[in-house]
Structure 1
Amino acid sequence: MFKKTLEQVVTYEAGKPIELVMREFGIKPDEIIKLGSNENPYGSAPRVVEIIQKNAHKASMYPDDSMFELKNALASKWSVKSQNVIIGAGSDQILEFCMHALNHENACVLMAKTTFAMYEVYAKIANVEVCKTPSDEHKLEEFESLYRASLERGKRVSAIFLCVPNNPLGECLDSAAVESFIQKIGKDTLIIIDGAYQEFATYKDKAKAFSPSSLSAKYENVIYLGTFSKAYGLGGMRVGYGIADSKIIAMLYKVRAPFNITTLSLQAAITALQDQDFVVQCVEQNAKEMLAYESFARENGFSFIPSYANFITLSRAGLDSTHLCDWLLQKGLIIRNLASYGLNAFRITIGTKKQNERVFELLKAYGANHNHLSNHS
């Protein structure tokens, strides 16, 4: 009945919800800290909350399927035309569009060894071979070598996924290096630049910043993805977008279902774009609290990859990430165990100052109780 390829697909493991912790451990919702899904700990901009409440009566109505106002707002922000923009239910839906639209005959797709899990899920559903680089982190020389090797064995490369910054590790390629790489790849390969965390990376280092307008104007085989789920605080509204040459966008529209985001999501995203001060404040606070995590890690013997996103991935020799994450869950702290990625490590969304102080307390308490950690401070 079902595709045989689905037997090879591992169901994506989303971050655990607050409701699960309430049910299983009887913890009150106001005592639970959720730092497992890279949501914005400061919520949504007050103007966004107000507009959602004001338009709640429109929940029975389909949205404007042309998404005219949002597309024009994004086009203005990124200095492109509206025909260069497509909207999705999160940027991952644009990934799905790409995998459905591409010709995968006698082809493979390339990605880093450890990166956003949905790249592989969508590729396998599309019944296309997945090729991964040897290194966990993005190394463009490995991507180029993998690309050449694929061509030499008679395989086309239908798509290359570049996650910048990379989820779940946090490292980020320089945009100039990526553009140099693009120029080495044939035009029949779609290069997908996933910029879900770009607001954080750009704030930390301008060398990480991408120009969607430049990419779409110069390259007919590149699509840039952005989202409202992270810095804009709209994870629950599910709005993402893609920017590319109009020919790419036109083809993706052929596989897009009508009304693919909600009326309230559309209004929320339009309003969020108008409140850049909120975004800047969130990004600035994230950078400040990131320093606290780095200091804690150094003082307590943790290893970490310097992160350009709104999360940090930690590990330590002798520490079992699964045992730690399960123990923290029972204490009301939700973080992300990376065992499903084959890593003995865990990822923590950078929370508010109060939330982060609680994280540090619990990590020290775990060490005191299990002899896996010691206080080096």
Structure 2
Amino acid sequence: MFEKLKDLKTYEAGKPIELVVREFGIEPKDIIKLASNENPYGPPPKAIEKVKNLASEMHRYPDDSFFELKEGLSSKFNISASNIIIGAGSDQILEFAVHAISPKKVLMAGITFAMYEIYSKQVGAQILKTESVTHNLEEFYEIYKEQKPEIIFLCVPNNPLGECVDAKEVFDFIEKIDENTLVVVDGAYQEFAAHKDKNKEIKPEDILKYKNVLYTGTFSKAYGLGGMRVGYGIANEYIIENLHKLRPPFNITTLSLAAAIEALKDEEFVKNSIIKNFEEMEKYVSFAKENNLKYIDSYTNFIVLYIKNSTQIAENLLKKGIIVRNMASYGFEALRITIGTPEQNDKLLNTLKGMIS
């Protein structure tokens, strides 16, 4: 019955706090979750207040035009509302794109966001990956010339590794791609990259001059709304009109919509979260250097540390109520760790030090 899905792997989400409570009997307040790249400072206060005030309206459907949210994004990015589509997380926009095209071949980096492959295999596409695990755009182009994929996924910065190519490299690459191939630029972590290095910043308005490029963004990371599931796609009107044909009605909730509208207004909260993120990341960089551990220079809100026996260490951390992401499923021994609050980071690093020394 499900023959075409037999080789399709299920996406592995970060372990929930509830699982650790059940398995190890640890109190929820004593658990540190640093596995899913959530904002450790929570949602913006204005978003929390708005959701509280609207809770009694949860029986009503949201404004399906998403007028106010689109207007906010239009103002932020200097684009038209007609260039925007709203999704239940940016991954729903990625799904729309794949199903709209039903490609025969899809190209992506050797290690990148797992949903690209999952959505592509759902429509029977052949998966093309670079030998380089990170984004080597020269290698991308060589495969493109030979294989002519209908979709190319660029994750800028890349999840789950954290590296990021320069914006100029991305646009130089796009210039060489035929308009019949859709290039998807996944900007889920762009707010972090743009803060750390302006050379990495991809402005959505620059995407619009291309007929074959789709940019995706999310409120799940820097804006602290992972649990509300709100994302967006930005492209020329022709792409957006066609993606809308696949969008179900009311695809985000009334409360999610309200939270996103308010979060978008609170840029100071987002800015401060990002600043603290990179200040705290320095603790991990110092830890890696002090303990002779390789790490990936990260432009996101997480960092990858290469650690031997990462599977056992991740399990030992879990038993102490600290949830991180083991990278063994990607074929190498490492931990991906979300940058938490100062207290969370200190506890994790002190615990980890005792396990590797």
Aligned position for 1:271: 262
In structure 1, distance between residues paired with 2:332 and 2:247: 35
Per-residue deviation, 1:339: 1.5
Q: In structure 2, the residue corresponding to 1:303 is in which secondary structure?
A: coil
CA-to-aligned-CA distance 1:28-50 (integer Å, 9 cap, x gap) = 00100000000000001111110
Tell me the residue number matched to 1:112.
109
- Residue 39 of structure 1: aligned partner: 38
Secondary structure at the counterpart of residue 8 of structure 1: coil
Q: So what's the TM-score if we normalise by structure 1?
A: 0.94
Match of 1:154 in 2: none
Alignment deviations for residues 300-332 of structure 1 (CA, whole Å, 9 cap, x no partner): 12110100000000113xx11111101100000
State the partner residue of 2:242.
251
1:127 to 121, 124, 127: 124
2:58 — aligned with what?
59
- Give matches, 1:166-245, under 5 Å: 166-216=158-208, 218-245=209-236
Aligned AA (1:53): K
Number of corresponding residues: 357
Q: Where does residue 358 of structure 1 map in the other structure?
A: 347
Structure 2 counterpart SS, 1:169 = coil
Which of 14-23 and 319-328 deviates more? 319-328
**Quick check: 1:136 aligned with 2:137?**
no
2:317 alignment counterpart: 328
* Partner amino acid, structure 2, of 1:213: E
> 1:74: Cα distance to partner?
0.6
- CA shift, 1:103, in A, is 4.1
User: Would the aligned equivalents of 2:303 and 2:338 in 1 still touch at CA under 8 Å?
Assistant: yes
Is the Cα–Cα contact under 8 Å of residues 102 and 125 in structure 2 kept in the other structure? no
- Aligned equivalents of 2:4 and 2:140: distance in 1? 25
For residues 129 and 256 of structure 1, the distance between their equivalents in structure 2, rounded to whole angstroms, comes to 25
Partner of 1:371: none
Gapped regions of structure 2 (runs ≥ 5): none
Q: Could you list the per-position Cα deviations for residues 166-211 of structure 1 after superposition, in whole angstroms to 9, with x for gaps in the alignment?
A: 0011000100110000011100011000000011100000000011
User: Which residue in 1 is equivalent to 2:331?
Assistant: 342
CA-CA distance at 1:72 after TM superposition: 1.2
Deviation at 1:58, TM superposition (A): 1.0
Q: Output the CA distance in 1 between the equivalents of 2:153 and 2:328.
A: 22
Cα RMSD (Å): 0.8
Of 156, 165, 174 in structure 2, the residue corresponding to residue 164 of structure 1 is 156
